[in-house]
Structure 1
């Protein structure tokens, strides 16, 4: 006869196993996830991220083409998860159950918060479509592109540059004020889909590729509600206007003067002895600006290389708040992220370029962020460069770096 105690123990063990199988898991699973943001029109803006378990402490790397953006401020308690995205004052809050996150992405703006529904699935390395038809076209190359605002009152000229490997496509759109950074997606049959998410901007591009080497039915989804149209045609010789021609001095003095506080509140002037007989680079930036992030990464390395040769850099920061302490917090995050050693000054408040231009009235305008002003050892402005084509633009970035190095070398030699 079998012992009743044995039956009881077996029954209890069975109940424990069943309960443990049914109990939802709140673990943040390591590996590749697929995330998506939902626009007002219901479109998905997809991206991938890699959850890395580093000795029991998790961090995330957001993946857009060859870029991996590290996110290490993650709070996970029970089924609640909070992900603080770097630099751009935005965050994801949601619930994590059985390898799925459902929540909200919040971007904190000057006077309000912008929000989008967010969800993610563990173990999903695909981005646009898990199973897709084979491509019937190849979009590799250069495309002359025109973006048209939804109300048809504004047009933007751009150049699309793409590389296609089977169905996978990477590349970007270059504009006169900067690029759309690292885009990644695919071609299915004759349909192109590209997306990116960097913690500040959420972009989705869709279009049809036609037999006559044109793109039609182009849609550019930006953030929660913005939808622009675009058309394009293949043109390997397509170029943009010279980035050095948009902003210039209004008079013939050739010099700039200003006094603004640094992050400690100390007033810094271009006329200070620290900048005398130096080649000075003024970086007009904002902590909210992804292209400024690319430029800051470039200038940090440039400063390390050229500072001892007689180069100084001053970052003139235009934040989307008039609160000095909040601006300081955002800019300290930027400095820490890129290990910036040059001065950053809290220069002005901007929700538009016209407001920013008031801080430097000797300029005709500030056409875009970032803008870079190069000043020679005599204090004269030599070049003003609008926008920044970052590493996501491939050879364009390499060409800019080589040209910029030569410009500074020539000014140092004089």
Structure 2
């Protein structure tokens, strides 16, 4: 996964609620809302589709809208004059007071213990635009690939550590940034004058991109606001031929190694190992992941139905979860929630913490764990045959389709042996 930005942390003893003086439920209008978080970089917009749940007047189904994605959140509840939208998998929530067509409140995300991150939140009923309601003509067309340098302080693309892939229609832009360890998922925005604006909110990711376009040099220069308060400059150069390093060469077995030795506990207390009878003589996929990692969720959303469809062919999957806490009492319920959400029929073991150095120690056969997720392919004889670092999710378009094709070709080959 992409680098994780440091975030400002506020301390609370309990989860605070939105204050209310109204004893009765306010009138809430279900439908589409244009929501935004108030960040140091300015408003970060995203969409919400909130509809009544069948048979319960105070419960709602909710989807976060980013580009082509409709990401399901947990069921929202109406409490007095406030609406609460939880995202349990990421230990976050939106809580807002109802004021006619407007919701006003906060986005909160729990960290370790009682520490909580917050940003002001607002949403307006019936609005669907992203950054600007005006469809003004623009002479800039940013469609294509952009060699990108996150962290550039020179205003030049000194290094290439990401590839921007954009599709622009009129003033609307969809796309993402691919990095060697993952992608920035579904980004949506607009070109306004000479400037590009992109955003994403999915309960975990909070991203706001801004950049100025220079048509003479075919470059973008701007900033990324991530999470609560993190900021990073970035530059990009239009380059249809730009590519990232081969994801099959970033993580590998140490010299002299050809197998992966793992033995970790599941939330049910059972220890799972690749030497268990379940995996003997089968092609096995080992998924290094974290429940806190949206890119890992994208991969899990692909792997779960694929496994259901193909497991009778002699395939097994083992998930190794590296969580913010190594304590099973803390992380076990998160793993179980993830299994329920994605209807997982394969084991997920708690392998340690999500510190990459610690994760590397937990898997000493590898040179290093450099990304979440990382996927390891093991043949019927227990030999590691391929390691793929990172994951290009559905927000990357053709790159996701390319990954799926390569995945299926590799699995067909291993299963035919």
Residue ranges of structure 1 left out of the alignment (5+ in a row): 1-23
Separation of aligned partners in 2, 1:131 and 1:402: 39
The answer on whether the counterparts of 2:138 and 2:191 sit within 8 Å (CA) in structure 1 is yes
Q: Which residue of 1 aligns with 2:101?
A: 99
Q: After TM superposition, give the deviation of residue 322 of structure 1 in Å.
A: 2.8
Query: For 1:201, which of 181, 205, 211 is the aligned residue?
Result: 205
Q: TM-score, normalised by structure 2?
A: 0.89
Mapped to 1, the partners of 2:79 and 2:315 lie a distance apart of 48
CA contact (8 A) 1:176 1:386 kept: yes
Shift of 1:402: 0.8
1:179 corresponds to 2:179 = no
The aligned residue for residue 144 of structure 2 is 141
Picking from 397, 401, 410, the partner of 1:398 is 401
Displacement, 1:133?
A: 3.8
* Structure with bigger gyration radius: 1
Do the aligned residues in 1 keep the contact of 2:166 with 2:173 (CA within 8 Å)? yes
User: Does the CA contact (< 8 Å) of 2:41 and 2:208 recur in 1?
Assistant: no
Q: For the structure 1 residues 394 and 411, does the alpha-carbon distance in structure 2 shift closer, same or farther, using more than 3 Å as the test?
A: same
Q: 2:258 aligns with which of 250, 254, 266?
A: 254
The structure 2 residue matched to 1:383, chosen from 371, 382, 386, is 386
1:109 alignment partner in structure 2:
111
Query: Per-residue deviation at 1:331?
Result: 1.3
Look up the match of 2:9: none
Q: Deviations over 1:248-278 (max 9, x none)?
A: 1113121111211112010111111111111
- Determine if contact 2:213/2:221 at 8 Å carries over to the other structure: no
Q: Which residue of 2 aligns with 1:218?
A: 222
Query: Which position in structure 1 is the counterpart of 2:48?
Result: 49
Distance 1:278 1:290 in 2: 29
SS in structure 1 opposite 2:400?
helix
Rate the CA distance shift 1:344–1:150 in 2: closer, same or farther, 3 A.
farther
Match of 2:37 in 1: 37
SS at match of 1:283: strand
How many Å separate the matches in 2 of 1:390 and 1:405?
15
CA distance in 1, matches of 2:244, 2:236: 14
Matched, 1:374 2:377: yes
Tell me what 2:125 maps to.
122
CA contact (8 A) 1:89 1:330 kept: no
TM-score normalised according to structure 1 size:
0.90
| Contact 2:25 2:79 survives alignment (8 Å) | no
Question: In the TM superposition, what is the alpha-carbon distance from 1:146 to its structure 2 partner?
Answer: 0.8
Q: How many residues align?
A: 389
In the aligned structure 2, how far is the partner of 1:343 from the partner of 1:208? 47
Q: Is 2:152–2:235's contact at 8 Å kept on the other side of the alignment?
A: no
In 2, Cα distance between the equivalents of 1:34 and 1:150? 33
Provide the residue aligned with 2:414 in structure 1.
Answer: 411
Distance in 1 separating the partners of 2:192 and 2:92: 32
Match 1:242 to one of 235, 243, 246:
246
> Taking structure 1 as reference, are residues 264 and 306 closer, same or farther at Cα in structure 2, changes over 3 Å only?
same
Distance 1:70 1:349 in 2: 27
Shift of 1:141: 0.8
Match of 2:84 in 1: 82
Whether the 8 Å CA contact 2:41–2:225 is kept in 1: the answer is no
Question: Which of 324, 331, 342 matches 2:335?
Answer: 331
SS at match of 1:101: strand
Secondary structure class of the residue paired with 2:362: coil
Distance 1:332 1:150 in 2: 43
Q: Secondary structure at the match of 1:358?
A: helix
Q: In structure 2, what is the Cα distance between the partners aligned to 1:156 and 1:81? A: 43
**Quick one: distance in 1 between partners of 2:41 and 2:202?**
20
Counterpart secondary structure, 2:90: coil
Cα distance, 1:410–1:193 mapped onto 2, change above 3 Å: same
Tell me by how many angstroms 1:194 deviates.
0.5
Deviation at 1:155, TM superposition (A): 6.8
Residues 34 and 120 in structure 1, CA contact (< 8 A), matched pair in contact too? yes
* Separation in structure 1 between the aligned mates of residue 179 and residue 160 of structure 2, nearest angstrom: 8
